[in-house]
């Protein structure tokens, strides 16, 4: 079976406190879902998403499944997902198939890479995440505005959002790109991005980090 990764963003005009509580309260139910291999409930950053201040109107759910069938059953039939959909104003679902992944998330790498070409209807998705060393928090957050501006101005980026498990310390980003070539241009030719990457290694900012690249297509549920 081919692993299926799903990333969903929920937007709320009301029920915001309920959504906030689900970051913890949903965990026992998620653990019981058939076929689930890994999950994270995630808050998001305000503004463009790379911010010290949280966005209390947007939350994300990252799930990894043993198969597409298991993912589809959860998304379309589970009581947990039906409740989240009913209480949120809108949802944005992404179907992700891992092309490359290295590093750790919670002491393991949850993504199993599948070497294949992109399909015509797919884009490139990038997830980066890290657990920051407390002694490096100030340095990291000092660089965040410049990093946000760099990706905002990058050629080929279609959408992006900063997410996190815990404020300040456990941070992640998801970005959607038009092509792999444009991802590589940003990664290797953007002067500021390259400088930040070099600094993270030199200054040893992270206790744990992960980079993953995906083939991405929008996911439309039967009731959408």
Domain map of the chain by residue range?
A: 4-218
Contacts of residue 145, defined as CB under 8 A and 6 or more positions apart, other chains included, come to 50
- The pLDDT value recorded for residue 98 is 97
CA dist., res. 158 & res. 49, Å (int): 14
Measured between its terminal Cα atoms, the distance across the chain in Å is 27
For residue 88, the surrounding DSSP H or E stretch is: none
* Beta pairing class for 123-132 and 206-218: antiparallel
Residue 101 CA to residue 113 CA, distance in Å, equals: 6
This prediction's pTM? 0.89
pLDDT digits (tens, 9 = 90+) for 25-82: 999 999 999 999 999 999 998 876 666 788 999 999 999 999 999 999 999 999 999 9
Instruction: Label residue 219 by pLDDT band (50, 70, 90).
Output: confident
CATH for 4-218, options being 3.40.50.2300, 3.30.1490.20, 3.30.70.100, 3.40.50.300: 3.30.70.100
């Amino acid at each position: 079976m081919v692993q299926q990764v799903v990333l969903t963003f929920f937007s709320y005009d009301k029920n915001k406190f309920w959504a906030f509580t689900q970051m913890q309260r949903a965990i026992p139910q998620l653990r019981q879902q058939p076929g689930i291999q890994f999950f994270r409930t995630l808050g998001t950053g305000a503004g463009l998403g790379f911010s010290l201040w949280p966005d209390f109107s947007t939350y994300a759910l990252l799930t990894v499944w043993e198969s597409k069938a298991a993912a589809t059953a959860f998304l379309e039939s589970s009581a947990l997902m039906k409740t989240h959909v009913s209480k949120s104003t809108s949802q944005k679902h992404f179907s992700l198939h891992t092309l490359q992944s290295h590093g750790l998330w919670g002491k393991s790498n949850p993504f199993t890479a599948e070497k294949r070409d992109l399909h015509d209807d797919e884009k490139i998705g990038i997830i980066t995440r890290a657990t920051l060393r407390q002694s490096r928090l100030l340095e990291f957050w000092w660089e965040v505005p410049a990093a946000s501006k760099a990706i905002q101005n990058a050629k080929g980026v279609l959408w992006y959002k900063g997410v996190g498990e815990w404020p300040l310390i456990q941070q992640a980003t998801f970005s959607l790109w038009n092509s792999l070539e444009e991802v590589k241009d940003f990664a290797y030719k953007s002067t500021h991005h390259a400088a930040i990457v070099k600094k993270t290694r030199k200054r040893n900012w992270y206790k744990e980090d992960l980079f993953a690249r995906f083939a991405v297509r929008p996911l439309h549920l039967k009731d959408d």
